[in-house]
Amino acid sequence: MARDVIAFLAEVAFHRELIADLRPANMEKLRATLTPEPGIALTCFVTGTELRARRGRPSDSFFTDMYGLAKGDGNASPAVDGCRRLLQDLMKRQPDLVIRSDHSRMPGAIHVELNDGVVNTIRQVVDPDDRSQVGGFVVADHADVLGHYDRQDSLIEGTAYNAGLFHSGAGFGDDEFFKLYRRVAEAIPR
């Protein structure tokens, strides 16, 4: 695992220009140039968590730095603000869309700065007028949903045997990972 972390950090160092693409303002510019493909079904599994400064599961400094980059300047285009409103409404009306652990904390609101440490949350939705495209809201960071989270066998005490790349403190684990990918598998045939 240490080798994977070193390789990831080396890629970040060698391709710093790509990090700028993660800024919400740059995502807005790209979004303005794209149009949806009619007839292609889309399902978005939106991720986001808030920074945690308290004991227990605090966000580490690398995650905190990346979170600051992905939160942007607080501005959003009308389309992106529509995505924010859509997510807020869905979280109120369909709480079963939320995937989170007992150790996580649901964000207080779906706001323009909420993100997963890599991608801004409200910019993960494509069409603010299509409720059916949201397959779930996952309280997790970007690495968590890719399988890079602290894994601990529930039958074995001790330290985690697979430490994540960066730590948001979201508390994401095996139960949430498998719940998310069951939903992804269900969405594929649609």
pLDDT higher at 147 or 4 = 147
Per-residue pLDDT band at 164 (split at 50, 70, 90): low
Angle 138-141-143 from CA coordinates, rounded to 5°: 115
DSSP 59: P
The proportion of the chain whose per-residue pLDDT surpasses 90, expressed as a percent, equals 44
Q: CA-CA distance, 101 to 4, in Å (whole number)? A: 26
Helix (H) or strand (E) holding 114: none
Q: CA-CA distance, 142 to 96, in Å (whole number)? A: 21
Give the count of domains, the chain: 1
- pLDDT number for residue 1: 53
- pLDDT number for residue 162: 58
The label of the residue with tokens 């269900």 reads: 186
To the question of pTM greater than 0.85 for the whole model, the response is no
Q: Is the Cα torsion angle 116, 118, 120, 121 positive or negative in sign?
A: negative
- pLDDT number for residue 153: 67
Q: CA-CA distance, 2 to 179, in Å (whole number)? A: 27
Q: Which residues contact 154 (CB under 8 A, 6 or more apart)?
A: none
- pLDDT number for residue 13: 67
Domain that holds residue 140: 2-34+42-187
Q: CA-CA distance, 109 to 182, in Å (whole number)? A: 26
Number of neighbours of residue 151 by Cβ within 10 angstroms: 14
- pLDDT number for residue 88: 95
- pLDDT number for residue 163: 59
- pLDDT number for residue 159: 67
Which tens digit of pLDDT belongs to each residue from 28-86? 787 788 777 778 888 999 999 999 887 667 888 888 988 998 998 888 889 899 999 99
pLDDT, average across residues 163-167: 68
